[in-house]
Amino acid sequence: MEGEVRVRGKIIKLAFPIFIESALVMVDGLIHIIWVGHLIGSQAVAAVGACFPIVLAMSAIANGAAKLTSKPMLQGFQKKIDRDNNQKQINVSWTFSVLSVLLVTIGVFLAARGILTILGTPGSVMELATGYLRIMALGFTIMYFSFLITSLLKDVGYTFARMLFIAIATAGNLLLVPMWIVGFGPFPELGLYGAVFASFIVSVVAFFISLGYLLRNYKGLFIKPTQWRLDRDILFSLLPVSMPVFIQQSLLALGYTCIIIFVNPFGSDATAAFYVISRIDSIVALPAIAVMIAITILTKQFVHGKKMEGIKSLFRGGLLVNIPFTFLIALSCFLFPDYIIKIFITTPSVVNIGVDYLKIISLGYLFFALLYACNGIINGAGKSGVTLLFSLVSLIVIRVPVAAILTQVGLNVTGVWYAVLASFIVLAVGSWLYYRSGKWKWGITEMKEHKAMPS
């Protein structure tokens, strides 16, 4: 018992700062949509929601490119490799990243309406959504540099500066976004587009402040490219560091796309409601994800320390930490769904759709405790590919077919909510069965046996 109490303490100690940092990042995005929902209305929220899967895909590319660029910069700063080879990596990584930024910017700007049409965006918000997506495309460079600076701040281990970057962005969005939406003093009234412009300005200010900090305290970190070149071998050697974050965020974009395609035909109110409730899903999952990351870290320590017997207590400890939070959140969403939705938007028709979702999906939230405790163990054992595979299967095999069937048999958009619930449950149960099977130990036990063999 005392050992399990100690394990729970370790989980909480690791999870708490992770939760705080993630919460601050999320608050920055939530402020944006709260202002849009209350100051402009459901049509603007629907336009943002219709563009959201494309923005998520853009974020995946920007984040992956930023990781690709930051790796050789950090290696050169720490002098882990020879200068000539490091300069070649710098040249290739910057060339690839600049080309990616240009291609995404031009491609999304020109194809914005076509992409939104493929996703079935409601006609009532098509013009607004197209303009919003084109502005987001033009700001893709800002997105890339924001990810690059936060990646470097994380790599050099300076948490305070990273928090400062997030705090500046949050405070800026809190103040500037409403001024550009409604027009205040010297700020023009630009509506939804003003919200985007304000966010870009805030990101640029935060970027230059953080850049100045890095230049002053970490001289030699920013190694300039000496030529523009692409080398396949060098590029392939750098890609592994960027692929995990790219795949993870691409999966989020795919998951949202798999649902928005079924939601859009039911009109802009359904699109707006789904965007709001998807943000609520992220908030609900936040504590459990922080615990999952903590479990992942501790599992790696147990594996490297050859203390496999401690992982069972780690799993139980993760569940005991997760369950109270997920239960209270699920209960709140079931009992007070209208109050939660109205934090973001007050349009009655949108609120009613959101309330139906929360009442249905609150049961699925209870499975977050099990899902993320299992995934923490599996990821810590080096089998993160399995969790990604399970997520992909739950989307393609469960969520999409169930949504397609239920929307055609008279359940309308409510059928999509039941499909999301089904995928949550199947994903959690699948991860639990894999954990119970012990297959996540494969390779670990073989490695230990190999090391134990006499030479």
Domain membership of residue 2 (yes or no) is no
Domain membership of residue 22 (yes or no) is no
Q: Which pLDDT score, from 0 to 100, does residue 361 have? A: 94
Q: Are residues 339 and 194 in the same domain?
A: no
Q: Which pLDDT score, from 0 to 100, does residue 3 have? A: 63
Domain extent at residue 429: 267-452
The whole model's pTM is what? Answer: 0.87
% pLDDT > 70, the chain: 93
Domain membership of residue 184 (yes or no) is yes
Counting as low any pLDDT under 70, the low residues of the chain are: 1-4, 78-82, 157-161, 305-307, 444-455
Domain membership of residue 18 (yes or no) is no
Q: Are residues 114 and 223 in the same domain?
A: yes
User: 368: number of CA atoms within 13 Å, CB side?
Assistant: 28
Specify whether the CB–CB gap between 341 and 261 falls below 8 A: no
* DSSP string for 366-399: TTHHHHHHHHHHHHHTT-HHHHHHHHHHIIIIII
Specify whether the CB–CB gap between 122 and 46 falls below 8 A: yes
d(CA 22, CA 10): 19
Number of domains present in the structure of the chain: 2
d(CA 170, CA 29): 8
Domain end call among 244, 259, 293: 244
Q: Which pLDDT score, from 0 to 100, does residue 452 have? A: 45
Domain membership of residue 28 (yes or no) is no
Q: Are residues 227 and 344 in the same domain?
A: no
Domain membership of residue 345 (yes or no) is yes
Domain membership of residue 292 (yes or no) is yes
Q: Are residues 370 and 336 in the same domain?
A: yes
Domain end call among 244, 279, 294: 244
Domain membership of residue 14 (yes or no) is no
Q: Are residues 231 and 86 in the same domain?
A: yes
Q: Are residues 233 and 136 in the same domain?
A: yes
Summarised one tens digit per residue, pLDDT across range 187-211 is: 788 899 998 888 888 888 888 888 8
Q: Are residues 148 and 212 in the same domain?
A: yes
Q: Are residues 351 and 430 in the same domain?
A: yes
Q: Are residues 301 and 156 in the same domain?
A: no
Q: Are residues 171 and 318 in the same domain?
A: no
24 closest CA partner among 199, 175, 163, 208: 163
Q: Are residues 150 and 277 in the same domain?
A: no
Q: Are residues 219 and 357 in the same domain?
A: no
| Torsion over CA: 359, 365, 366, 367 (sign) | positive
